[in-house]
Structure 1
């Protein structure tokens, strides 16, 4: 064939084939996806602070260890309320003209998935302590520390955000820089949007089977939920795996009057709706409400905390917790 003996014809033909294939294989499907896949109705675009925080996230290589995709397998349930879908990423846009790192899905999980971290851990205090030194809140963490996102000062200004960390130095108080605050704003806004009511929610594959036991009296104490696993996944990051908390930041649960006391309504209310009554500690988020916990999960958490780390309070039943949750919900709707 003459085309193989004429380099001009060869290069022109190859270029035309490349452009045609690119149009039909890459550009065409991409444009079609953009036209068909729309953001979910409850999806909220990133704020300006969160957008700046996303740039900090990228600049520090966080995507190398953290994914943002919940797979449709049961082991991923703890990262989000449902498997991720294309519509979850429809609000992402180019960072700028030259940068198209809009979707940070990641390729591995050296650290936890961050798809729904804003729901699991909305506390700004926790995120700031964790960024300054991850080992302060997660002793086994291999995440690098980011002390350069903070500064020590002897003169705290009115708008400075002070970070409570255990320290014996004379450097003054630790404050967060704007970069740290922007990064936390980005993490706090990483939340799974709810699907429309008519939408069929994708299921997690290979579900784990849970069995509940009913003791005499028909009072269900064992809710069939692993309280320790729930605690380690959702509570230990602040209160620590040993229940000791973190001095100056998160309270201890050991012999806590709330944990071992008789005011079960206050206990359930704190789990479901959060707590902000002690100025020396960070605000506790509404963990139970954010994660749509039922009485089974709340009971499992309470019984685990009341019977560990030296706590010897009696366990509570699912029925008791359910009655309190119903009462709290009635008050909130009035």
Structure 2
């Protein structure tokens, strides 16, 4: 064929074929995806602080160890309320004509997925302490400390955000440890990660490949089917702040060991704090507790398991609560009719 002997025709045909393939394999699918995946109704664009925090997230290499995608496999249930969909990323628009906005979905989980961390852990105090020294809140953590995002001052000025670091992690520092603007921006970005419920009528993706519980044999009972593991639920929902030993962190998170609230025969206050959060100890230097039960969509059975674990661990001798009494209070709190 003459085309093979004419370099102009050969290279021209190659260029035309490349452009055609690019349009059909990349450009047209991208336009279709963009037109059919609008942001979810309740989603909001990132604020200026959150945008700056995203830049710090990229600069510090956080994407190397953290993903931002909840996969549709059962093992990812702990990271979000549902598998991620394209609409979750629809607000990631181009920075300008020349630059595309980075989609930081990641591919490795040396650390936990962050797609719903704003709901799982909405406490600014926890995030700042975790950034300063991860071992102060998670003893087994292998995450590096980002202490350069903080500064030490002899005196805290109005507007300064002081981080209450436990003595064993201060390394001889006697002044006030204050979060810099960059630390606050990074935390603002992390707290913006909140999975939203899908609009009515839009099918919710399913988690696949879950383990099926085998029914107990006639005449027997299965502990797996009748009781939930309170220690495991406590570890995944409460331990990062109140610690495995229930002693909390001095000046940061109050202890549950020996707590009058936990030991109270009436579980109403304990349940209300779990479901609605608590800010009554801010004057003592403790941060605001988020509504863990609501944020993590805990069911009454799970809450009972957690409460009984707290009431009977670390030397606590509180009365165990029953599902019947907690379910009644749970429904009252959810409906806003709980008695004062």
Distance 1:212 1:275, change over 3 A: farther
Note if contact 2:92-2:101 (Cα within 8 Å) is conserved in structure 1: no
User: Is 1:204 equivalent to 2:207 in the alignment?
Assistant: yes
Deviates more, 1:136-145 or 1:322-331: 322-331
In structure 1, C-alpha distance between the alignment counterparts of 2:143 and 2:298, rounded to whole Å: 29
Question: Aligned to 2:151, what secondary structure does the other structure show?
Answer: strand
Q: Report matched runs for 1:3-14 at 5 Å.
A: 3-14=3-14
CA apart distance, 1:8: 2.8
Find the counterpart in structure 1 of residue 281 from structure 2: 278
Find the counterpart in structure 2 of residue 287 from structure 1: 292
In structure 2, C-alpha distance between the alignment counterparts of 1:212 and 1:282, rounded to whole Å: 44
Note if contact 1:223-1:297 (Cα within 8 Å) is conserved in structure 2: no
In structure 2, C-alpha distance between the alignment counterparts of 1:305 and 1:99, rounded to whole Å: 51
Find the counterpart in structure 1 of residue 150 from structure 2: 150
Can you list the C-alpha shifts for 1:82-104, whole angstroms capped at 9, x where unaligned?
11111111111234444424321
Find the counterpart in structure 2 of residue 68 from structure 1: 68
Find the counterpart in structure 2 of residue 261 from structure 1: 264
Note if contact 1:37-1:90 (Cα within 8 Å) is conserved in structure 2: yes
User: Is 1:41 equivalent to 2:41 in the alignment?
Assistant: yes
In structure 2, C-alpha distance between the alignment counterparts of 1:290 and 1:211, rounded to whole Å: 30
Candidates 164, 175, 178, aligned match of 1:175: 178
Distance 1:62 1:163, change over 3 A: same
Question: Aligned to 1:156, what secondary structure does the other structure show?
Answer: coil
Deviates more, 1:53-62 or 1:224-233: 224-233
In structure 2, C-alpha distance between the alignment counterparts of 1:102 and 1:38, rounded to whole Å: 18
Note if contact 2:119-2:296 (Cα within 8 Å) is conserved in structure 1: yes
5+ long unaligned stretches in structure 1: 214-219
CA apart distance, 1:330: 4.1
Can you list the C-alpha shifts for 1:205-244, whole angstroms capped at 9, x where unaligned?
133446999xxxxxx9x96332222211121111112222
User: Is 1:296 equivalent to 2:268 in the alignment?
Assistant: no
Note if contact 1:153-1:171 (Cα within 8 Å) is conserved in structure 2: no
TM value normalised by structure 1: 0.92
What is the aligned residue count? 327
5+ long unaligned stretches in structure 2: 217-222
